[in-house]
């Protein structure tokens, strides 16, 4: 939800308790109450539905309603009831690395993402800024195929 709101997608949240961070996020409409039958029809044009409550019955009902309207749905507690999954994402500036288990284990996807974070270490946004500037400079000079050798990384990444 945070990623969608941060990218300025319109997000509707229906929940009895809503974090202040979510309530105040731009492009977020909040209905601070329990889910009701028919809520999926509230938003004509919902592109995605996330059923992420701690109630099996509510998640099942939301999933049925969304699938019945042909809306892709992620049912957090039942992979088989979901029609899509979201990856665990690492973001550092322009770097984005996504890890998915195809819905088998979101917890495992997060663990793998954290191991990748630990292995890569910090500072990739700066490396990417440098790489982008170097590429734009080469392209401006018309050096489309002129690279440090096909497939070679920027100098910052070369082994000593």
pLDDT of res. 156: 62
The two three-digit tokens of residue 36, written as one number: 């009701």
- Decide which of 81, 97, 112 is a domain's last residue: 81
pLDDT digits (tens, 9 = 90+) for 46-70: 889 999 999 999 999 999 999 999 9
Question: Are 90 and 61 members of one domain?
Answer: no
Please give the tally of structural domains in the chain: 2
Cα dist. 64→8, 56, 84 in Å? Answer: 27, 12, 14
Q: For residue 41, give the CATH number of its domain.
A: 3.40.50.720
Residue-wise pLDDT for 101-151, tens only, equals 888 888 899 999 999 989 988 888 889 989 999 999 888 888 665 555 445
Residue that is last in its domain, among 54, 81, 108: 81
In the predicted model, is pLDDT for residue 159 greater than 60?
no
Tokens of 123: 């500072």
What integer pLDDT is reported at residue 58 of this predicted model? 95
pTM of the model: 0.69
Is 52 in the same domain as 98?
Answer: no
Tell whether 62 and 100 lie within a shared domain. Answer: no
Residue 145 pLDDT: 55
The answer to the question of residue 157 being in a domain is no
Return the closest-CA partner of residue 56 out of 68, 64, 48, 47.
64
In a domain, 158, yes or no: no
Give residue 48's domain range. 2-81
Distance of CA 120 to the CA centre of its chain: 20
Q: What b-and-e string marks burial along 70-97, b requiring 16 or more CB atoms within 10 Å of the CB?
A: ebebbbbeeeebbeeebbbebebeeeee
Q: Of 34, 58, 81, at which residue does a domain stop?
A: 81
């Amino acid at each position: 939800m945070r990623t969608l709101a941060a990218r300025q997608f319109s997000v509707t949240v229906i929940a009895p308790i809503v974090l202040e961070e979510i309530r105040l996020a731009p492009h977020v409409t909040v209905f601070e109450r329990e889910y009701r039958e028919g809520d999926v029809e509230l938003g004509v044009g919902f592109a995605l539905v996330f059923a992420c409550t701690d109630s099996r019955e509510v998640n099942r009902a939301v999933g049925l309603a969304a699938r019945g309207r042909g809306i892709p749905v992620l049912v957090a507690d039942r992979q088989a009831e979901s029609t899509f999954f979201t990856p665990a994402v690492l973001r550092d500036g322009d770097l984005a690395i996504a890890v998915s288990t195809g819905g088998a284990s979101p917890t495992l996807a997060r663990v793998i993402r954290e191991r990748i974070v630990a292995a890569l270490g910090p500072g990739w946004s700066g490396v990417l800024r440098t790489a982008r500037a170097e590429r734009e400079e080469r392209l401006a000079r018309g050096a489309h195929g002129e690279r440090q050798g096909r497939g070679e990384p920027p100098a910052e990444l070369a082994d000593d």
